[in-house]
């Protein structure tokens, strides 16, 4: 078959060269957009985009022959992966292409904050000669706090250590052994925030990282800390920055990413502050990075067209298995159980044991990929999928041990996860009950039966009359309704484990009220 690929968004010319060398027709259309783009799409089997083109459901509606969407870069926020998967369209990215460029840009912004370089440059260009006004500080001996020790965060650590900085890092899913290989010491998040003279973030934007720095946690920060964000807009609460700068809570901030790009007028007013350094999302904007990602995506897509490999695919196995009704329920329950376990596991957990019994055992390899997808989803700077889950786990130093048996236990099929590190609860089993009914059926040997969905509270309690009533009353006082519950116990008058599903999200204070009840222990809140 003669494949045809459309290159958009000004992707580097090497992309077209590689495709043509591989015998694939490539058309470079850097300015094509709107209705003209939609009219062209039916001719193509592949498209390559950067960040400007939004690959929406509507765009895909106009591309009936499309087989691959290639993103020349890491982020795929501009690609509707779920819609592409439903249509059997492969989505690929190049997660390693801009590691160096983004890390170097981060280092440049750290230096700019330390030495007031942008303001000093502008002052001199305006005809002033004011050396005292732009007195800087050395990096030697200062503490750099790094939130997120993935590829970019660890590269920043290596470079800034050469400046004589002390590195404090927080990454709950990187093991101490892996951090030691990088010559980095792991600390608790609050310890990093308290110690950091400079702070840089390299994490995905999740509910846990959104507003990581804000007026709400001002007391956790070292006074006068200088901060850099080249990761995702929203990790620093932009609306709070001016007040935090004016009050001296933070000494300066450098931003390369924003909640709105281009920034809104309101955001521009924040960026005009004298202590804000800002660049227009330049982390990956180097000739080398753009050339590298353009070459990588062309080679990856050509390999896929030729059925040689699916490296860089974000949804390859999902597509292959989407029509397999036998495997699909197990994939879902495995991912849900992995996500469940991630919210129980202690930070820096370095190993998971995964066991399969029954007919699901023959699909153990892909099911473990799904477990890891759920386990890593909220902690990885790169999108996690069935193809890259093991690679990302290995990068974080998480070891996987698998065991399979066709012999059935209480249930015909059972997936069990055991967490290596000490935690409130360590062993969980789940199984599908039906097409969309997935239940956890055992926690640390206690038999229960509860759907893996919604907002869940787990607690251990003394098995005596009134315990459930006490918990119900505490929830009712907060206007929180119980949707369902399951209780498992060892024997009468001993210990029990109870799982309660409620109708709305809980706050930390809501959970604390339950934890205060006499006889209730190990209270954990799980949001699925």
Contact criterion met (CB below 8 Å) for 156 and 200: yes
User: pLDDT-based confidence at 416, cuts 50/70/90?
Assistant: very high
pLDDT band at 74 (very low <50, low <70, confident <90, very high): confident
Catalytic residue among 138, 247, 261, 326: 261
Among residues 71, 281, 363, 439, which one is catalytic?
Answer: 281
261 in active site:
yes
Instruction: Tell me 42's DSSP state.
Output: G
Taking only the tens place, the pLDDT of each residue in 345-367 is 888 888 899 999 988 888 888 89
* pLDDT at 75 > cutoff 80: no
User: Rounded mean pLDDT of 460-483?
Assistant: 89
Q: What distance in Å separates the CA atoms of residue 112 and residue 207, rounded to the nearest whole number? A: 30
What pLDDT does residue 323 have?
62
The residue with tokens 């995964």 is 354
Instruction: Find the farthest-apart pair of alpha carbons in the chain and give their distance in angstroms, rounded.
Output: 85
- Mean pLDDT, to the nearest integer, of 93-102? 88
SS3 label, residue 5 = strand
**Greater confidence, 325 or 452?**
452
Q: Which of 390, 391, 402, 332 is nearest to 362 (CA)?
A: 402
Tell whether the model's pLDDT for residue 173 goes beyond 90.
Answer: no
* pLDDT score, position 321: 66
Q: Whole-number mean pLDDT of the chain? A: 90
pLDDT at residue 464 in the model: 85
- For the cut 90, the answer to whether the pLDDT of residue 392 exceeds it is no
> Please, which contacts does 247-250 make with residues 24 or more away whose CB atoms are closer than 8 Å?
248/223, 248/224, 249/215, 249/218, 249/221, 249/223, 249/224, 250/213, 250/221, 250/224, 250/225, 250/226
Alpha-carbon span 453 to 332, nearest angstrom: 11
Please state the rounded mean pLDDT for residues 82-98: 85
Q: What is the pLDDT of residues 244-262, one digit of tens each?
A: 999 999 999 999 999 988 8
d(Cα 221, Cα 247) in Å, to the nearest integer?
13
Identify the three-state secondary structure at position 507. coil
Does domain 4-96+288-312 fall under CATH 3.40.50.720? My reply is yes
**In the structure encoding, which two tokens stand for residue 12, read together?**
């580097």
Compute CA distances 499 → 25, 153, 425, whole Å.
57, 37, 12
Higher pLDDT, 171 or 494: 171
Indicate if 281 belongs to the active site.
yes
Mean pLDDT of 164-171: 94
d(CA 145, CA 151): 16
Label residue 445 left, alpha or beta by phi (over 0 means left) and psi (-120 to 50 means alpha). left
Distance CA 6, CA 118 (A): 39
Q: For residue 77, what pLDDT is reported? A: 79
Neighbours of 280 (CB within 10 A): 12
518 is catalytic: no
pLDDT value for 294: 94
CB 267 within 8 A of CB 238: yes
Mean pLDDT of 177-206: 91
Which CATH number applies to 454-528? 3.30.70.260
Q: What share of the chain is helix, strand, coil (3-state, %, to 5)?
A: 35, 25, 40
Place 320 in a pLDDT band, splitting at 50, 70 and 90. low
CA distance 213 to 472: 35
Confidence category of residue 322, pLDDT binned at 50, 70, 90: low
Assign domain 324-451 one CATH number from 3.40.430.10, 3.30.1330.90, 3.30.70.20, 3.30.2130.10: 3.30.1330.90
- Residue ranges of the domains in the chain? 4-96+288-312, 99-278, 324-451, 454-528
Q: pLDDT tens across 326-348, in order?
A: 888 999 999 999 999 999 988 88
pLDDT tens track for 423-461: 889 999 999 998 789 999 999 999 999 999 999 999 998
Domain range 99-278, its CATH number among 3.30.70.100, 3.40.190.10, 2.102.10.10, 3.40.50.720: 3.40.50.720
DSSP 297-345: HHHHHHHHHTTS--TTBSSHHHHHHTT-TTTHHHHHHHHHHHHHHHTTS
- Whether 4-96+288-312 and 99-278 share one fold: the answer is yes
Helices marked H in 64-141 — which ranges? 81-86, 99-115, 117-125
Active-site option among 45, 71, 226, 232: 232
Query: What pLDDT shows up at residue 499?
Result: 93
Structure confidence by residue, pLDDT tens digits, 19-65: 999 999 999 999 999 999 999 999 999 999 998 899 999 999 999 99
With vertex at residue 229, the alpha carbon angle to CA 223 and CA 234, rounded to the nearest 5 degrees, is 95
Position 362 scores a pLDDT of 85
Does the pLDDT at position 120 exceed 80? Answer: yes
Instruction: Please state whether 439 falls in left (phi above 0), alpha (psi between -120 and 50) or beta.
Output: beta
């Amino acid at each position: 078959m003669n494949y045809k690929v459309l290159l958009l968004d000004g992707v580097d010319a090497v992309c077209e060269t590689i495709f043509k060398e591989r015998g694939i027709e490539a058309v470079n259309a850097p300015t094509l957009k709107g209705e003209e783009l939609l009219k062209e799409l039916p001719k193509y089997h592949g498209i390559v985009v950067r960040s400007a083109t939004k690959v929406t459901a509507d765009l895909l509606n106009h591309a009936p022959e499309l087989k691959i969407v290639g993103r020349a870069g890491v982020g795929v926020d501009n690609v509707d992966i779920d819609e592409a998967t439903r249509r059997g369209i492969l989505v690929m990215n190049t997660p390693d292409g801009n590691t160096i460029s983004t890390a170097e840009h981060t280092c440049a912004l750290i230096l700019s904050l330390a030495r007031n370089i942008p303001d000093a440059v502008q002052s001199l260009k305006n005809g002033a000669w004011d050396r005292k006004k732009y007195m800087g500080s050395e990096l030697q001996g200062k503490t750099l706090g790094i939130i997120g020790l993935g590829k970019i965060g660890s590269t920043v650590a290596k470079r800034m250590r050469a400046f004589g900085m002390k590195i404090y890092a927080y990454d709950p899913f990187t093991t101490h052994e892996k951090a030691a290989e990088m010559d980095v010491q792991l600390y608790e998040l609050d310890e990093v925030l308290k110690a950091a003279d400079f702070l840089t973030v390299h994490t995905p934007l999740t509910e846990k990282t959104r507003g990581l720095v804000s007026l709400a946690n001002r007391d956790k920060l070292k006074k006068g800390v200088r901060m850099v964000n080249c990761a995702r807009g929203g990790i620093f609460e932009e609306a709070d920055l001016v007040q935090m700068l004016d009050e001296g809570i933070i000494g300066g901030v450098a931003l390369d990413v924003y909640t709105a790009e281009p920034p809104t007028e309101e955001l521009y007013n924040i960026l005009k502050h004298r202590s804000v350094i800002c660049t227009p999302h330049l982390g990956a904007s180097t000739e080398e990075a753009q050339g590298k990602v353009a070459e990588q995506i062309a080679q990856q897509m050509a390999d896929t067209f030729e059925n040689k490999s699916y490296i860089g695919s974000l949804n390859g196995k999902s597509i292959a298995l989407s029509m397999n009704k036998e495997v699909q329920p197990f994939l879902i329950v495995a991912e849900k159980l992995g996500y469940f376990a991630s919210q129980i596991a202690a930070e820096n957990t370095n190993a998971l044991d995964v066991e399969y019994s029954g007919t699901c055992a023959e699909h153990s390899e892909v099911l473990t990929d799904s477990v890891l997808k759920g386990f890593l989803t909220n902690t990885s700077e790169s999108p996690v999928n069935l193809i890259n889950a093991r690679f990302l786990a290995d990068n974080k130093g998480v070891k996987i041990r698998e065991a399979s048996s066709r012999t059935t236990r209480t249930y015909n099929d059972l997936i069990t996860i055991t967490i290596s590190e000490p935690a409130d609860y360590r062993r969980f089993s789940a199984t599908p009950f039906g097409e969309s009914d997935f239940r956890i059926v055992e926690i640390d040997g206690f038999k229960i039966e509860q759907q893996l969905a919604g907002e869940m509270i787990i607690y251990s309690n003394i098995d005596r009359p009134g315990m459930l009533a006490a918990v119900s009353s505490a929830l009712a006082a907060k206007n929180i309704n119980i949707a369902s519950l399951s209780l498992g116990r060892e024997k009468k008058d001993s210990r029990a484990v109870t799982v309660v599903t409620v109708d709305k999200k809980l706050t930390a204070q809501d959970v604390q009220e339950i934890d205060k009840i006499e006889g209730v222990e190990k209270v954990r809140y799980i949001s699925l």
